[in-house]
Amino acid sequence: YTGMAAAVFAPSCVSLASQTNLNWLAITIGGLTFCILIITLILSILDSRLESKTHMYAKSLKSANDQLMHMATHDVLTDLPNRLVLCERIQHAIHVSQRSKKSFAVLYIDLDGFKVVNDSLGHQIGDSLLKQVSERLKDVLRKEDTLSRIGGDEFAAVVEDLNDTDNAMGICEQINQAMILPFKTTRAELNISTSIGIAIFPNDGESVEILLHNADAAMYEVKRSGRN
């Protein structure tokens, strides 16, 4: 009303509204409104489908990235952490031990006579044996310990939070005891023993490389001295 009151119309002006067919005007407005609603509905459906596909692609991409990350950090055969993860766990254990003043052990585990089994019975039997060995090793070690397959028939473990270095010896004895029962394969029952080298932080090294090297050297000394 304010706008209308403020408007001044010249006497000679002509109103187009009086010349417009109101029925056709209503039909035209109704048709345009209906078209706009239909277009809006179609765009909404397309947007919803696009969002759904985007979510699906994002989920697939995350799953693929997770799988790639797992493959990059775990052994394909046994699904144990690989050497990369092992080194990270040793480095983490070093930091924790420096704060807590408690030691930890790096165990280097090698299977005795595995090459003979692999060469005589085939890689399939050898792979089956490695899987069973890894399961027994996991049963012996605690959940907070890290078991890794370094390669071939060699495993390594990080045993943290040791109150006494004798605890590491006790765990190694448990590992040897776990290997006494024969391993069942599709072709034969196999008896396998382990040779284990131990490096204790900080007595046997204060870095990842030195601890692994000394544990490996200790394991080879066990091999040279008669194995098991």
Quick check: 168 and 107 in contact, CB under 8 A? yes
75 counts as catalytic: no
Catalytic-role residue among 75, 112, 153, 204: 153
Sign of the Cα pseudo-torsion (213, 218, 224, 228, in order): negative
SS3 percent helix, strand, coil of the chain, rounded to 5, is 60, 20, 25
Sign of the Cα pseudo-torsion (197, 202, 205, 206, in order): positive
* Cα distances (angstroms) measured from residue 16 to each of 13, 20, 23, 215: 10, 7, 15, 99
**Paired tokens of 193:** 């023993």
The torsion angles phi and psi of 194, rounded to 5 degrees, stand at: -125, 150
Residues with a known catalytic role = 153
